[in-house]
Amino acid sequence: MAFQTLIEASKSCSNAKVLQIGSGGVGCEVLKNLATSGFKNITVIDLDTIELSNLNRQFLFKTTDIGKPKVSAAAAAVLKMSPDSNITPIQDNIKNPEFDLNWFSNFDLVINALDNLGILNLLIFYLFRFNEYPKKLSKKTFKNLDARKHVNLMCQASNLPLIETGTAGYNGQTTVIKRGFTECFECQPKPIEQKTFPVCTIRNTPSTLVHCVVWAKDFLFNQLFGNEASKETEVPPGDSQSNLNTLKSRYVSEGEDGLEFDKDDDDALRFVAASANIRASVFGIKNESLFQIKAIAGNIIPAIATTNAIIAGLAVTQAIKVVSGQLSSCKTIYYAYGGRRPQLLFKEPLLSPNPKCTICQANYFKLELNFEKNTLQEVIDTITNYLDSIKSNKDESDSFQNSLNESVINSEPDDDVEFSIVEGSSPSESSGLNLKKSPESYYFDPLSPLVADPSHSQKHHLDSESQGNNKL
């Protein structure tokens, strides 16, 4: 029985079409594991190019690959390991409009392999290990957060299973998201990035090393080496200045342009580190190494190759279960190294959807429109009338649906009707509908209401096959 199950799982993997988003630290490991585990049809998309700093943890790349697109180099390396795999690399931004619902519908499974940990689970780890929230999150983390939200929305609208992964240092997580079965990425609130600090705290009452680094990087460095526009006319007394001949000579040679802080500029980094540690000592704050200050100044979350490998292996295991029809056996899995508990891996059941979530509890419909003839008002009126019909017949939804089917089947095609609902899904009540444009169609986005009366949005489900040609 077990052998037969293994054969069926192998066939499922071979036939499945997988979309992988990201080919960085986690992505390289996921792509390699997918191909060597029997997945034959893989599309991987990533916008980045290979840098020297990637080579210590992204083992599909070599020094000769520096400057090349990550997806192309990763696909070429994996094809050497698994020549019979069909890997399609795309160097692009997944948020570009050509990657719409029609494009997503070509796949059976989506895997998010973005390097940074999902924000919610990052908070869970910090609370679990340190009983406090992280003091600072990098801009790249929030950039990837935006991408995760977009992919989550597209998977919800196209009813595709999504495997989320993420790592941050010695912590990692992976989970499975399926519309109507599990909570989605937006079911729980996310934190807001703290981009600025109060000036009085930075200048007068620093309480953490981060405050001291911000002071040294954004204030002192600019006062000494920045251009005239970035300097302040009144400098508070008592600020120490380092006589760094190298920076001074560079500043003189730059003239009016001045210097800008760069974490990869060794002279600038050492100046900021020394200044921050001196200021920290004055206020009784523990000093840190150059490496730690570089991470703070550059908003760097360290990436560990071992963490990436562990999470990638778990994610592909989840993928095999999903394509084999064993979604109920999937778990949310956390990897936490260095905690007080002896085990490294923790798992919990997949949580059910949040009934108040505006993403996974929304109605999604794909429309076909004639942009040359239809006006926006006509679309709004048609949708409003359609939702009003659902509301007025909510107690007789079955008979309404049957009469709608019959009217469509028995009626001749009407050339004057220029748009129609071609498919849709609705797991529960939504909080409003809005149209968002894609190249060939529109899809509903619940983020801002289109219909003035929220009560127009009622629980309803359209069978995408039976309603494929319904005219409104």
Say what percent of the chain tops pLDDT 90. 39
Q: What is the mean pLDDT of residues 66-91?
A: 96
Q: Which residue has the higher pLDDT, 303 or 274?
A: 274
Could you give the CA distance from residue 149 to residue 431 in angstroms, rounded to a whole number?
18
pTM reported for the whole predicted model: 0.66
Q: Which residue has the higher pLDDT, 17 or 256?
A: 17
Q: Is 217 annotated as a binding residue?
A: no
Q: Is 238 annotated as a binding residue?
A: no
Whether 27 and 113 have beta carbons less than 8 Å apart is answered as yes
pLDDT of 246: 77
Domain 2-194+302-349, classified CATH 3.90.1150.10, yes or no: no
> Torsions phi, psi of 282, nearest 5?
-60, -35
pLDDT of 90: 97
Q: Is 153 annotated as a binding residue?
A: no
If you average pLDDT over every residue of the chain, what do you get? Answer: 75
Q: Is 15 annotated as a binding residue?
A: no
pLDDT digits (tens, 9 = 90+) for 143-155: 456 888 899 999 9
Could you give the CA distance from residue 111 to residue 330 in angstroms, rounded to a whole number?
14
Least confident of 284-288, 323-327, 360-364, 425-429: 425-429
Q: Is 70 annotated as a binding residue?
A: yes
pLDDT at 105 over 50: yes
The two beta strands, 171-177 and 109-112, are: unpaired
pLDDT digits (tens, 9 = 90+) for 191-224: 655 556 777 888 888 999 999 999 998 888 888 8
Could you give the CA distance from residue 340 to residue 318 in angstroms, rounded to a whole number?
27
What are the distances in angstroms from CA 201 to CA 130, 132, 211, 272? 24, 20, 7, 18
Q: What is the mean pLDDT of residues 421-439?
A: 42
pLDDT of 115: 58
Helices (H) and strands (E) in the chain, counts: 15, 12
The two beta strands, 420-425 and 442-444, are: unpaired
pLDDT at 417 over 60: no
Please pick, among 28, 155, 200, 330, the residue that the annotation labels catalytic. Answer: 200
Tokens 């529109």 belong to: 442
pLDDT of 440: 36
Length of the chain: 472
Whether 358 and 447 have beta carbons less than 8 Å apart is answered as yes
Q: Is 170 annotated as a binding residue?
A: no
Q: Where are the domains of the chain?
A: 2-194+302-349, 207-284, 364-456
pLDDT at 132 over 90: no
**Residue 200 a catalytic site member:** yes
pLDDT at 439 over 90: no
pLDDT of 228: 57
- Bridge partners of 331, per DSSP, are 349
pLDDT at 188 over 60: yes
- Taking phi over 0 as left and psi of -120 to 50 as alpha, with beta for the rest, 18 belongs to beta
DSSP string, 40-60: -EEEEE---B--GGGTTT-TT
Whether 111 and 18 have beta carbons less than 8 Å apart is answered as yes
Q: Which residue has the higher pLDDT, 61 or 266?
A: 61
pLDDT at 190 over 80: no
Q: Is 117 annotated as a binding residue?
A: yes
pLDDT bin (cut points 50, 70, 90) of residue 433 is: very low
| Token reading at 423 | 């498919």
Could you give the CA distance from residue 451 to residue 443 in angstroms, rounded to a whole number?
15
Could you give the CA distance from residue 61 to residue 52 in angstroms, rounded to a whole number?
10
Sign of the torsion formed by the C-alpha atoms of 365, 370, 372 and 377: negative
